[in-house]
Structure 1
Amino acid sequence: MRNEAKTTATSTATSAAASLEAAPPRSFRARPAVWLAMIGISTAVCALAIMIGTHKFHLGPAAIVLMPILWTVLIGGFLGVQKWRPIGGRARAVSTHLMDVSIVFFLAGLGSQIGPSLAKFTNIGPAILLQEVGHVVGTVILALPVAVALGLGRTAIGATWSIDRESYLAFAIQRFGVRSPEYRGVFGVWVLGSVFGAVFISLLAGLLGGLEFFDPRALALGLGLGSASMMLGGVGALSILYPEMAGEIMALAALSNLVTNIVGFYAGVFIALPLCQKLYRMWSRIWGRDDLGRRIRGAAPARALAGSRGDSPGTAAEAADSDDNPGAGTVDVNSIEEDPTVIRTPRTWLTAFAATGAVGVLLNALGTGSARPLDVVGVLILLALTAVALVLAKLVPAVPSSIWVLALATLASATFLPIGPFIASATQNINVLFAGLPMIALIGMSLGRDVKALRSLSWKIVIVALITFTASFVAAAAIAQVAMKFQ
């Protein structure tokens, strides 16, 4: 018996060793050719998108705006899902490493644009500040219960805690990871907003403005959604309805958008997201749904929810309604590919930083049509802020680098600090939507890993996205209207 057991144990160990040897390595050292390919392709995608340019079409009061960021998504996404020369797991792993730097670099650029305008807060009335509550809370209160009821599961959190523009997308990647349902909710709403957001908001603004229920100034304040294309679409519709107030509408919408870019990100991260996560658990119990969006039988939602999170394996599956279609409209976790990871060394970090900076200077010059020696200095400053933020995030893991870098860049470029005017002048000609465009291309090129999971969101994410945009705009306008009456 002892020899038999020994033989069995030896056989099991041998089989395990063989399976480990046969399995692909989970971490690897990427060859220079892979780095050059991903950097070159992503740069070419961005350059092509910039050359295609911005195109605007009028449809009555609505305005359809097609910008380079949209072309980048479409071209990068096509390359990510095409089967002729598919982008493999190792190439996507290199893409992820590059993305980790380019995301923080993009946010550094965004912060440098906000800092010089901080002084404007002294003249902002309560209406423009209070409307931010509508942007933050309106989506969570109105859109979240619908998303949970439709069976989006934890994807509902990502789809409804904000209107999911670029800074929120960057935060979601770092906070949840690209393979999480929360991230897919953010990404789904972000894509829909990039494609249809301006058209939808312009139609909605025209409808509400034509009803003459809201003060046009309140609607203008509500347009500060954190998205330039959505804001401009709404401004165009309101300006047609109220031509005598066109200048004031544009000024108020732009100022509101500035407040959203400065305050909204922090309010979304520290207020809306925790609130959304708590209310998600409540609505999951009320609607009887588990974390995969499956319907739960009887009165055992708590057990099923725990099981779907892995606390009690199998419980959620046993509690799920067999007549429901598990996972419909949510993320099919079995369709998510597991990519290996690049072994990160000082050389890989240096490569990622050098590529981000060089490509940023090139695309900014191509997009803005101008190049100054000071722009190179500005990019180097943004890269330095990026490096400091990444180090701080490693030292204080509770605060991600996306928050560190936005705060550092905003303060560093504030004109009330001694070094602020120089940093502001060095970065003022850097258009972050051009310099940070590779982040979008790299995300699109990684779609091959997640395309099945994104397809599984189906029509439900479209409904939730439209409700999220509507709730944010209408709630902000309503709060601004009330504040203006009591001002």
Structure 2
Amino acid sequence: MDHSAGTTAATEQPITRANWITAIVLSAAISVVAVLIGEYKFQVGPAAIALFPIIWAVLIGAIIGVQRWRPVSGATRSVATVMLEISILLFLAKLGTEIGPSLAKFQNLGPAILLQEVGHIFGTVILALPVAVALGLGRAAIGATWSIDRESYLAFAIERFGVRSPEYRGVFSVWLIGSVFGALYVSLLSGFMGSLGIFHPLALALGLGLGSGSMMLGGVGALSLIYPEQAAEIAALAALSNLVTNIVGFYSGVFLALPLCRRLYAFWSRVFGRDDEGNWRRAAAKPKKQKKQQVLEVVQDPEVKLTPGLTLLSYVVVGAGGLLASAIGTRSFEIKDAVGIVVLLVLTWVCVRLGKLVPMVPASVFVLGIGTLLSANFLPTGPLVADLMENMKVMLIGLPGLALIGLTLGRDIQALRQLSWKVVLVALLTYSSSFLAAAALGQTVLHL
């Protein structure tokens, strides 16, 4: 997807072997340190805050990504981005292999999984939109609250509204905040809500089908720490829910949520007396010089020209990093674990190719769907795949990817500084309301 209209070009830097070594070493080191720090849980009144390797990886990566002593170069960030995309898909591939063996448990959840999209729309449009309008975001409130604004929505907003429109600024802001802080925020929110006991853990797992692999990873990690005896079911149900969101979520967002959001925006604008710039209507009689709308921008890092050799290296490094984190975290390693990682990497590569051949279907949908089928008990491959994967911990395999998210933060820091506290608050409310509304609907439909 081309985001060039919302980017500023960085100084051209050649991508050297040193950049690859730096990204690889930092990713591995951060993952190992995060695993060694371990898991902690402490009470805050009736609730608990869960801190675990995923959070440490994001935080440590972010600190390194923005520090000025030895800044992470744009070329190194470009390498990290390449490995990040593979790492998230590898995590989803492993998660897919955990859905297959659990399909029988979820055979009665069809209506609940499909209706979660109603929960996402209700949460963002019904709950977050009026707050955004009341805060004075103007038409940017539409872009900030019609969905949680992942990559497909960003591309749609560029084509539908243009990069200088208020709607696009809203979409871009929520996308940016989610890309940088989404996994961390959802993990803290999930752990907090899970410890309160208001929702059944499986209802919360349904709510994690937000359409973002990294956010789901953070949420599943927190819930698995709170409910270790149900960790496998939580991971499988969240992945299944996320798969459905990836398939139908974009279309429900475009054809249902957006029209509804625009109509309700007009209603709430009248209620709160705000105009399209977010100003009070009663003050509109006074002539005022209009402010020039600023386009939020991120730095455009150098492009990595992937040769077959560098592509192979990227997959090998990502697989080795996930295997290393899993081995240290579980304190075990078997040869079949290495074979399992190779299977996941091949599946990831195939799905990346399929995503390019069929661009209207994201690679994440292919990798989750095919991983689920290969591990399903009704296929001959099911028992073999389950055996290869049984020792590896899915949360740890995804760890290097979240470390890489933090390392790339320096690219986005300029745009983050341009965001007002209002849009940050609305973004967090959008994620929260989408997650909690879907979880509440899931709890109601499942009678948990």
- Residue number among 136, 149, 152 corresponding to 2:120 in the alignment: 136
- Report how far residue 265 of structure 1 moved: 3.2
Q: 1:189 and 1:469, CA in 2 relative to 1: closer, same or farther beyond 3 A?
A: farther
State the match for 1:315 in structure 2. Answer: none
Aligned: 1:366 with 2:328: yes
Task: Give the partner amino acid of 1:259.
Answer: L
- Residue number among 75, 78, 90 corresponding to 1:93 in the alignment: 78
State the match for 1:77 in structure 2. Answer: 62
User: Cα deviations across residues 194-241 of structure 1 (Å, max 9, x unaligned)?
Assistant: 4631464257x46xx5xxxxxxxx7555323332355468879xxxxx
- Residue number among 261, 284, 289 corresponding to 2:239 in the alignment: 261
- Report how far residue 484 of structure 1 moved: 4.2
- Residue number among 277, 298, 304 corresponding to 1:295 in the alignment: 277
Distance in 2, matches of 1:143 and 1:324, equals 29
State the match for 1:400 in structure 2. Answer: 362
Q: 1:176 and 1:265, CA in 2 relative to 1: closer, same or farther beyond 3 A?
A: farther
Q: 1:173 and 1:295, CA in 2 relative to 1: closer, same or farther beyond 3 A?
A: closer
Taking the TM superposition and a 5 Å limit, the aligned residue runs for 1:13-24 are: none
Of 226-235 and 55-64, the range deviating more from structure 2: 226-235
Distance in 2, matches of 1:191 and 1:479, equals 22
| Alignment size in residue pairs | 402
Q: 1:439 and 1:172, CA in 2 relative to 1: closer, same or farther beyond 3 A?
A: farther
State the match for 1:304 in structure 2. Answer: none
Task: Give the partner amino acid of 2:277.
Answer: R
Aligned: 1:349 with 2:334: no
TM-score, normalising length: structure 2: 0.76
Distance in 1, matches of 2:60 and 2:320, equals 21
TM-score, normalising length: structure 1: 0.70
8 Å Cα contact 2:27-2:403 kept in structure 1? yes
Which secondary structure does the structure 1 equivalent of 2:77 belong to? helix
Which secondary structure does the structure 1 equivalent of 2:387 belong to? helix
Distance in 2, matches of 1:115 and 1:89, equals 40
User: Cα deviations across residues 374-424 of structure 1 (Å, max 9, x unaligned)?
Assistant: 000110000000110111111111112111111111111111111121011
Distance in 1, matches of 2:157 and 2:377, equals 34
- Residue number among 397, 409, 414 corresponding to 1:447 in the alignment: 409
* RMSD (CA atoms): 4.0
- Residue number among 32, 36, 47 corresponding to 1:51 in the alignment: 36
Distance in 1, matches of 2:315 and 2:347, equals 12
Q: 1:222 and 1:104, CA in 2 relative to 1: closer, same or farther beyond 3 A?
A: closer
Of 33-42 and 146-155, the range deviating more from structure 2: 146-155
- Report how far residue 325 of structure 1 moved: 9.0
8 Å Cα contact 1:38-1:94 kept in structure 2? yes
State the match for 2:284 in structure 1. Answer: none
State the match for 1:223 in structure 2. Answer: 204
Task: Give the partner amino acid of 1:87.
Answer: V
Distance in 2, matches of 1:198 and 1:367, equals 22
Aligned: 1:409 with 2:371: yes
Q: 1:338 and 1:383, CA in 2 relative to 1: closer, same or farther beyond 3 A?
A: same
State the match for 1:382 in structure 2. Answer: 344
Which secondary structure does the structure 1 equivalent of 2:323 belong to? helix
Q: 1:201 and 1:93, CA in 2 relative to 1: closer, same or farther beyond 3 A?
A: same
Taking the TM superposition and a 5 Å limit, the aligned residue runs for 1:431-470 are: 431-455=393-417, 456-466=419-429, 468-470=431-433
Give ranges in structure 1 of 5+ residues lacking alignment: 1-22, 210-217, 237-249, 300-320
State the match for 1:317 in structure 2. Answer: none
Distance in 1, matches of 2:24 and 2:78, equals 13
Which secondary structure does the structure 2 equivalent of 1:57 belong to? strand
Taking the TM superposition and a 5 Å limit, the aligned residue runs for 1:11-410 are: 30-122=15-107, 124=108, 129=113, 132-133=116-117, 135-146=119-130, 148-149=132-133, 150=135, 151=137, 157=143, 161=147, 180-181=172-173, 183-187=175-179, 190-191=182-183, 193-194=185-186, 196-198=188-190, 200-202=192-194, 205=196, 209=198, 222-224=203-205, 225-226=207-208, 227-228=219-220, 231=223, 258-271=236-249, 272-274=252-254, 275-282=256-263, 295=277, 322=289, 326=293, 333-334=296-297, 336-410=298-372
Q: Radius of gyration: which is bigger?
A: 1
8 Å Cα contact 2:112-2:442 kept in structure 1? no
8 Å Cα contact 2:15-2:75 kept in structure 1? yes
Give ranges in structure 2 of 5+ residues lacking alignment: 1-8, 159-170, 209-218, 282-287
Distance in 2, matches of 1:374 and 1:341, equals 36
State the match for 2:214 in structure 1. Answer: none
User: Cα deviations across residues 9-44 of structure 1 (Å, max 9, x unaligned)?
Assistant: xxxxxxxxxxxxxx9776x76222211111011110
- Report how far residue 174 of structure 1 moved: 9.8
Which secondary structure does the structure 2 equivalent of 1:337 belong to? strand
Task: Give the partner amino acid of 2:240.
Answer: I
Distance in 1, matches of 2:306 and 2:110, equals 48
